[in-house]
A and B are shown apart, each in its own frame.
Chain A
Amino acid sequence: MDILFTAVSLVLLAGVLPLLSYRWFRFFKTVHITALTAGCLTGLYGLYTVWQQQDVPLFSYPWLHAFTLSFSLDSLSTVFLLPVFLVSPLIALYGYHYLNKAEDCWRVAVSHFFFSLLIVAMILVTLAANMVTFALAWELMSLSSYFLVMYDYEKEETQAADYLYLLFTQTGALCIFAAFAVISTSTGSLSFAQIEQIPHGIKLVAFFLAFIGFGSKAGIFPLHIWLPHAHPAAPSHVSALLSGVMIKMGIYGILRMYLLLDDPTPIFPQTVLVCGMVTGVLGVVYALGKRDLKRLLAYSSIENIGVILIGAGLGMLGISSGNRIMAAFGFAGCLLHVFNHALFKPLLFMGAGVILHKTGTRHIDQLGGLMKTLPVTGRTFLTGSVAISGLPPLNGFISEFLIYYAAFLGLGLQGSSFLLSMFAIISLAIIGGLAAGCFTKVVGLVFLGEARSKKGQNLVESGRTMQAAMILLALACLLIGIWPEPLIHLAFCGLRDFIPLAGVSPVVLGDIPHNLTLTARLFLGLLLVTAALRHLLYRSKPISRSSTWGCGFSQPTSRMQYTGTSYAMSMVDFFRPFVKVRTEYSGISKIFPRWTGYAHKIEDIAEIALHRALVRPLLWALGKLRWIQHGHIQLYIGYIILTIAVLLLVV
């Protein structure tokens, strides 16, 4: 535990030093990365030492005489801390060349400070062992991420998006604190102990409140609205950190709450599963429909949260029905997907950041052919895309496989559990197919083909540190894909402090990772053999280059390429009315038509519904109360005195 606190202080130091030395631009960036990496490596070492011991270390510290701050490191915290410690230094490394405007040195230094603060907050959230600590860490996390997104604060778009994020995160926090309040009035203490003894009804209330609160952080449909707004507004390395690591804290919260409540009621898994399926399928459908690259990636994060929740739901279903093997596979798939997503999503956001830096646009239909000008970004982005589509031999497949396996085991159950498992499999299949469609679209339109506008021409590859970070993440994806055994075992042990795997035969748990490894390597080998064969076949054959066959048309332009909108149109249309598609077409009239226009827009139904059901009535009601705000300061003081007086009298 002491090692971990050393790590926390190092990370914090990495944030404070840039503030003190903000005039030496390069110096403070180097110091930041060095200290952060040192902190994270120390943290990893700390995790390793704790993992070797069986008991859970505890640490508490009295604070303000009234509260105790307490921390503990159990297996669940360890599994969630792993991506924090592994991925954050890489993202910081990427940030070295990404934030390269020396004239903005103060702003960059502040951004570095909040970056460190966010990492510290996430570490504390996972370590927190009572409600006060958790609440403080949670708020620290929300606020530091709010300031991180605010990097381009003078842009109106950023302000609006960040305000939306703040609203969602604070409403979510409100729900979480309400859940804590409900629990603590029942147990009479603020500690996480003995929560499992509270009555069933209160457990239900607490779980659902917490689910909404954590769900809004994780991006569960329909609480995901802030994600696709905040990501395009934030700098890319911040998006990478938020999407890769921070939103997983929502998943951590849901799992933690579930384990604390320790109630085998089937309502919890049912809720989680249904939400997971809806989130997964709709997330990927919206991702397909989006043209803004970062918005697309944000929706893809929502989809992955859906997959993670399906895994968690299946695990919970296994617990409820007493099927230990299913529980082990479901939770392992969930935890492994959390880890895997923390690798490939930052990778993709980094790629998007490079594209934004180099071309100045995020619009997919204006890009194209970047593989030739940005080879490193292109290749790593391709790797990330295959991984996020859940295809072997990369890491995304491993976690999806475990979730599939849990779902198939669930088919042996009766009644609604059977139905849910069945729908989980079908939705995973659909998510897999659509995700592949979505990422072939991104890779195909952005990196392949020809540049669609002048913006995509004559580029030079990004800075060294950005390339290094992307290459490392891509290699990690491949490595886990072909050598998944250690991580699968780690994921199986992720809940060892709560749900003992004693009843599960080690043969089952050992066989599958072994076979997955074998298959992935065999497939990779077969690929190499085929490539070698192709090489042999082409020996001493004439190879020439010419333009693409345009079916006889000899003057093609790059504008004639298929666009992302048309690529995704039929797939998105299929999911109406869950997706609102608005097309505006002025039509062609007269013999010599003049100007005509066509616009195609995909709108989020959750956003529309929120606007109609909540925002509009709320604005109307608050409009009626506008007379309270009149600008007379003495009356405002009067309000305060009146409120205090009423509170003193009544409460």
Chain B
Amino acid sequence: MESFISLAIALLIAPLFPGIILKVKALFAGKKGPPLLIKYFTLAKLLRKGSVYSTSTTFVFLLGPIVACAAAVMALLFFPFAGVPPLLSFQGDVIVLFYILGVGRFFTIAAALDTASPFEGMGAAREAFFSTLAEATIFVVLIFFYRLNGSLSLATYFFGSQAISLAGPHGALLLLVIVSLFMILLTENSRVPVDDPATHLELTMIHEVMILDHSGPDLALIELGSFYKLFFYAAFISCLIKPLTLTDPVANTLLFYGLMTVVYVAIGVTESITARLKMNLVPKYILTSFALGFFALILTLELV
């Protein structure tokens, strides 16, 4: 029951957090910024609308939003929010989870190519390339966790005597991994410096250009999926930086969402103070995250 409640809270609250990013960015720019609940308003607006479909598209175009959203929700099923055991958990679930996110990507790309638009094809090619590199980093991080914790399951990463935490004995190594994961968070969720969700030029976009032709509830599903995906990565990082686990479940939940806010603020700050990278520098950026993770992994050789 607890698992259901925590999942429900997560599903409901996820669209709130991107509002925080916008608020932080507005603060940096000296503006008032949109209201915190802006994303809920956007979703409600989209859900009221109808859609225009391109004459080039087939059913694959309709599958894109459905699969992307379902994959992101599926990823959240495995996540132990605020220390509550998740609905699903078994040895190896992390592999399944990242591959399910991969299915979402596969269909997003396919839907983009279905529109016959050169811009969307361009975005799709970038997405396919960058996510491949990001996947390598993610698996390095998983290898690192396996070395520390001996498990392959999200739930057991953060529980038990060998829980992975910044406050634990391997905190110093974890710092490298957290930075690496944060870089992957920015890459996988198309944030600055890899992609700019607020840019206005189709040629320079990655994720936004792939969904140019979606509208109405379809677009709402995509947006919701991307909120959940970002929420998942942010929750991953906030679990790693969590200093302690409180016994009271309510306090624990509050602590978790407090840390989540910290992560989102960090994203906002990063977006405000860094410029967007040139497209040919993005692979180097992702490989830097790979190198950080790999370095941490090499250092674990000393531990065992």
**Interface assignment of B12: CB less than 8 Å from any CB of chain A:** no
* Residues 512-551 of chain A, each 1 if its beta carbon lies under 8 Å from chain B, else 0: 1001101100110011011100100110011111111111
**Complex Cα gap A546–B51 (Å):** 10
B53 cross-chain contacts in A, Cβ below 8 A: 543-546
Name the prevailing secondary structure of the A interface residues: helix
Structural contact, B90 and A571, CB atoms closer than 8 A: no
Are B99 and A537 closer than 8 Å at their CB atoms?
no
**Is the CB–CB distance between B136 and A433 below 8 Å?**
yes
* Distance (whole angstroms) from the CB of A376 to the closest CB of chain B: 13
Q: How far is the CB of A441 from chain B (nearest CB, A)?
A: 8
A160 within 8 A of B: no
Bits for B98-139, please: 1 = Cβ < 8 Å to A, else 0.
011011011001101111111111101110110111011011
A437–B65 alpha-carbon span in the complex (Å): 18
- CB-based contact B99/A391 at 8 Å: yes
Task: Assess the A448–B60 pair: CB atoms within 8 A.
Answer: yes
The distance in angstroms between the C-alpha atoms of A428 and B124, with both chains bound, is 22
- Given the interface pairs A430-B136, A449-B116, the reply to whether A534 lies near B106 with Cβ below 8 Å is no
Interface size class of B (residues with CB under 8 A): 35 or more
State whether the Cβ of A276 lies closer than 8 Å to any Cβ in chain B.
no
Q: Are B117 and A448 in contact (CB under 8 A)?
A: no
Which one of B52, B117, B301 lies within 8 Å of A544 (CB-CB)?
B52
Q: Is B208 an interface residue (CB 8 A)?
A: no
B58 touches A548 (CB 8 A): no
- Establish whether residues A440 and B139, one from each chain, have CB atoms under 8 Å apart when the complex forms: no
User: Is B70 a contact of A405 with CB atoms below 8 Å?
Assistant: no
Report A-chain residues with C-beta under 8 Å of the C-beta of B150. 412
Q: Provide the residues of chain B in CB contact with A391, threshold 8 Å.
A: 99, 102-103, 106
B115:A548 contact, CB within 8 angstroms: yes
A519 x B52 contact (CB < 8 A): no
In the assembled complex, the Cα of A541 lies from the Cα of B219 at a distance in Å of 14
Chain B residue with the shortest CB-CB distance to A571: B129
Interface assignment of A445: CB less than 8 Å from any CB of chain B = yes
- Given A538-B217, A541-B217, A546-B52, CB of A434 within 8 Å of CB of B132: yes
Set of chain A residues within 8 Å of B135, measured between Cβ atoms: 429-430, 432-433
Looking at A378, A401, A548, the one whose CB has the most chain B CB atoms below 10 A away is A548
B116 touches A432 (CB 8 A): no
A425, A537, A544, A567: the one within 8 Å of B121 (CB): A567
Q: How far is the CB of B253 from chain A (nearest CB, A)?
A: 24
Distance of B65 from chain A, by nearest CB (Å): 7
**B166 sits at the interface (CB 8 A):** no
* Complex: A541 Cα to B47 Cα, angstroms: 10
User: Are B136 and A440 within 8 A (Cβ)?
Assistant: no
CB-CB contacts below 8 Å: A544-570 with B: 544-551, 556, 558, 560-562, 566-570
Q: Are B132 and A430 in contact (CB under 8 A)?
A: yes
B77 CB-CB contact with A under 8 Å: yes
Is B218 positioned at the interface, with any CB of A under 8 Å from its CB? Answer: yes
Q: Closest Cβ of chain B: how far from A81's Cβ, in Å?
A: 30
Q: In the complex, what residues of B have CB within 8 A of residue A574's CB?
A: 129, 283
> Given the interface contacts A511-B90, A522-B74, A551-B119, does A382 sit within 8 Å of B129 by beta carbon?
no
Q: Smallest CB–CB gap between A451 and chain B, Å?
A: 9
Query: Counting CB contacts under 8 A, is B221 at the interface?
Result: yes
Which residues of chain A have C-beta atoms less than 8 A from B212's C-beta? 549, 551
A544 to B283, CA, bound (A): 39
Residue in chain A with minimal CB distance to B71: A523
A405 near B140: Cβ-Cβ < 8 Å: no
Contact B139 A512 (CB under 8 A): no
Cβ contacts under 8 Å, A542 to chain B: 50
Would you call B85 an interface residue if the criterion is a C-beta within 8 Å of the partner chain's C-beta atoms? Answer: no
Q: A389-B106, A546-B52, A550-B117 are in contact. Are A562 and B95 (CB under 8 A)?
A: no
- Given A429-B139, A448-B58, A567-B121: A440 in contact with B132 (beta carbons within 8 A): no
**Among residues 242 to 294 in chain A, which have CB atoms less than 8 Å away from a CB atom of chain B?**
none
B46-104 at interface with A (beta carbon < 8 Å): 47, 49-60, 62, 65-67, 69-71, 73-74, 77, 88, 90-93, 95-96, 99-100, 102-103
Cβ contact of A436, chosen from B49, B102, B152, cutoff 8 A: B102
Contact of A561 among B57, B91, B109, B118 (CB under 8 A): B118
CB of B202 within 8 Å of the partner chain: yes
A114 CB to nearest B CB, Å: 38
Q: Report chain B residues within 8 Å CB of A531.
A: 66
Would B140 and A526 count as touching, CB distance under 8 A? Answer: no
Inter-subunit contact A401/B91 (CB<8 Å): no
Q: Would you call A23 an interface residue if the criterion is a C-beta within 8 Å of the partner chain's C-beta atoms?
A: no
Q: CA–CA, A177 to B139, complex, Å?
A: 41
> A444, B110: Cβ atoms under 8 Å?
yes
Min C-beta distance of B11 to chain A, whole Å: 12
Find chain A residues with CB under 8 A from B106 CB.
Answer: 386, 389, 391, 436, 439-440
A306 to B276, alpha carbons, bound, how many Å? 37
Give chain B interface residues in 141-191, CB to chain A under 8 Å: 142-143, 146-147, 150, 152
Please state if A444 and B70 are interface contacts (CB–CB under 8 Å).
Answer: no
Contact at A392–B99, with CB atoms within 8 Å? yes
Partner of B92 from the list A368, A448, A515, A549 (CB cut-off 8 Å) is: A515
Q: A429-B138, A436-B128, A440-B109 are in contact. Are A527 and B70 (CB under 8 A)?
A: yes
A202, B188: Cα distance in complex, Å: 51
Q: Please tell me if the beta carbons of A390 and B99 are within 8 angstroms of each other in the complex.
A: yes
Chain A residues with CB under 8 Å of B216's CB are 538, 541
Please tell me if the beta carbons of A548 and B213 are within 8 angstroms of each other in the complex.
yes
> CB of A411 within 8 A of chain B?
yes
Q: Which residues does chain A contribute within 8 Å of B71, judged by CB atoms?
A: 523
Given the interface pairs A449-B113, A518-B88, A548-B116, the reply to whether A541 lies near B99 with Cβ below 8 Å is no
Bound-state CA distance A418–B59 (Å) is 45
Given that A430-B132, A437-B129, A448-B60 are known contacts, is A392 also in contact with B100, CB under 8 Å in the complex? Answer: yes
B residues less than 8 Å from A25 (CB atoms):
none
Enumerate chain B residues within 8 angstroms of A562, measured Cβ to Cβ.
113, 118, 120-122, 124-125
In the assembled complex, A35 has its CB within 8 A of some CB on chain B: no
Check: B297 CB closer than 8 A to any chain A CB.
Answer: yes
Q: Which residues does chain B contribute within 8 Å of A558, judged by CB atoms?
A: 116
B-side contacts of A36, CB under 8 Å: none
| Interchain CB contact under 8 A, B88 and A519 | yes
The answer on a CB contact under 8 Å between B129 and A511 is no
**Cβ of A546 and Cβ of B55 under 8 Å apart?**
yes
A443 on the B face (CB < 8 A): yes
Q: Which residues of B contact A445 (CB under 8 A)?
A: 113
Q: Could you tell me the distance between the alpha carbons of A530 and B125 in the complex, rounded to whole angstroms?
A: 27
Q: Does A450 contact B (CB under 8 A)?
A: yes
- Is A372's CB within 8 Å of the partner chain B? yes
Q: Choose from B99, B112, B119 the contact partner of A432 (Cβ within 8 Å).
A: B99
Q: B50 to chain A: closest CB distance in Å? A: 4
Looking across the interface, which residue of chain B has its beta carbon closest to that of A436?
B106
Within 8 A of A (CB), among B276-304: 283, 297, 301
Q: Which residue of B lies closest to A372 (CB)?
A: B58
Chain A residue at minimal CB-CB distance from B140: A426
**Judging by beta carbons under 8 Å apart, are B58 and A411 in contact?**
no
Q: Once bound together, how far apart are the Cα atoms of A28 and B126, in whole Å? A: 51
- Interface pair B50/A392, CB less than 8 Å apart: no
With contacts A437-B129, A511-B91, A541-B49 known, what are 15 further pairs, Cβ within 8 A? Answer: A378-B58, A426-B136, A433-B128, A433-B132, A433-B133, A440-B113, A448-B110, A449-B56, A519-B96, A546-B53, A547-B54, A548-B213, A549-B213, A562-B120, A571-B125
8 residue pairs bridging A and B, Cβ less than 8 Å apart: A397-B96, A432-B99, A519-B100, A541-B216, A546-B54, A548-B56, A549-B115, A549-B213
Contacts from A to B (Cβ < 8 Å): 368-369, 371-372, 378, 382, 386, 389-393, 397, 400-401, 404-405, 408, 411-412, 418, 422, 425-426, 428-430, 432-434, 436-437, 439-441, 443-445, 447-450, 511-512, 515-516, 518-519, 522-523, 526-527, 529-531, 534, 537-538, 541-551, 556, 558, 560-562, 566-571, 574
In order of increasing CB-CB distance, the 8 nearest A-B pairs are A562-B121, A444-B113, A433-B132, A542-B50, A437-B128, A449-B116, A541-B50, A537-B217
